């Protein structure tokens, strides 16, 4: 398993070792010991999966302390542009975002520590995303930030389809108006 630094403290790209032959492939999508050896303390308690079609943009979602969630995101089918926005006030990358294309062929994953907002856009006809989290969902702690906040300047890639965004996500406040406690 290869761990790749992103320039954001704790935000890493994980490239698993894939064993492929004429039967197909095998890889470990998560290995607690490998994470611990790399200095990453991550103990998932919930597995989530979403399916979306081309043009869907979800996010930017997070949960307030003490219910914040670290996430390990991977694409089971398709291709996405994944975004993590640093909400940790003491971080040198506070208010900055990191984006990466993830796909089912490459098998790379993004580990997002607590204190980040998360979102993605779907670049393929269908995308199935799985992510492990280290804290259960808490509806009262759920928050969001506008996907199109001009201050953030997130460069959502064109995917050949009109954006599909939920009513809930369209109502998210700007970065400056959002509530966060990290």
Q: Which residues are catalytic?
A: 61, 131
Instruction: Give the whole-angstrom CA distance, residue 73 versus residue 13.
Output: 10
Instruction: Give the whole-angstrom CA distance, residue 75 versus residue 77.
Output: 6
Instruction: Give the whole-angstrom CA distance, residue 80 versus residue 146.
Output: 19
CA angle 17, 72, 37 (to 5 degrees): 60
Burial class (CB in 10 A: 0-12, 13-18, 19+), 13: middle
């Amino acid at each position: 398993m290869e761990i790749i630094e992103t320039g954001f403290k704790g935000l890493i790209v994980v490239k698993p070792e894939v064993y492929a032959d004429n039967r197909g492939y095998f890889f470990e999508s998560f290995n607690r010991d490998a994470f611990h050896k790399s200095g990453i303390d991550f103990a998932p308690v919930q597995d989530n999966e979403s399916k979306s079609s081309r043009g869907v943009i979800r996010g930017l979602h997070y949960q307030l302390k003490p219910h914040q969630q670290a996430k390990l995101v991977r694409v089971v089918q398709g291709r996405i542009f994944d975004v993590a926005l640093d909400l940790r006030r003491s971080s040198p990358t506070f208010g900055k975002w990191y984006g990466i294309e993830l796909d089912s062929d490459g098998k790379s994953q993004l580990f997002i520590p607590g204190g980040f907002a998360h979102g993605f856009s779907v670049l393929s006809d269908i995308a199935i995303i799985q992510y492990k989290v280290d804290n259960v969902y808490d509806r009262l702690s759920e928050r969001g930030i506008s996907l199109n906040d001009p201050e953030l300047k997130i460069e959502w890639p064109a995917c050949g389809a009109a954006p599909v965004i939920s009513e809930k996500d369209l109502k998210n406040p700007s970065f400056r108006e959002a509530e966060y406690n990290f």
